[in-house]
């Protein structure tokens, strides 16, 4: 799959800061920003999924107690 380019602006001081952090991690600035943005996006997606599933659980609670599960399994 071909790569796409994303461009954004930030103050020189912030760019220099990010370059230093990237360098300490042996990454290019581009790779560092890509890694961090994808990690943040995954975290946000996980949080949204969790919140949706919690709402579904609260609406239709299908949990069973340990004792009920043992009885259901004839244990």
Torsion of CA 57, 38, 24, 10, to 10 degrees: -120
In a domain, 36, yes or no: yes
The neighbour count for residue 56, using CB atoms within 10 Å, is 11
Say what the pLDDT of residue 62 is: 83
Does residue 5 lie within any of the structural domains?
Answer: no
H/E element holding 13? helix 12-24
Is residue 75 situated within a structural domain? Answer: no
Q: What is the pLDDT of residue 52?
A: 95
pLDDT in tens, 29-75: 999 999 999 999 999 999 999 999 999 988 988 888 999 999 999 98
State which residues form the domain around 33: 12-59
In this predicted model, what pLDDT tens digit does every residue of 1-27 receive, in sequence order?
A: 899 999 999 999 999 999 999 999 999
Give CA–CA dist 42/48, Å, rounded: 10
Is-contact 18 29, C-beta < 8 A? yes
Classify residue 24: in a domain, yes or no.
yes
Q: What is the pTM of this model?
A: 0.71
Task: Give domain status of residue 3, yes or no.
Answer: no
Number of domains in the chain: 1
> What does the pLDDT read at residue 63?
86
- Within a domain: residue 48? yes
């Amino acid at each position: 799959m071909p790569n796409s380019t994303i461009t954004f602006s930030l103050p020189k001081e912030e760019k220099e800061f990010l370059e230093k952090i990237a360098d300490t991690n042996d990454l290019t600035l581009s790779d560092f920003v890509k890694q961090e943005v994808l990690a943040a996006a995954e975290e946000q997606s996980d949080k949204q999924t969790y919140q949706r599933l919690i709402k579904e659980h609260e609406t239709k609670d299908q949990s069973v107690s340990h004792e009920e599960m043992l009885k259901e399994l004839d244990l």
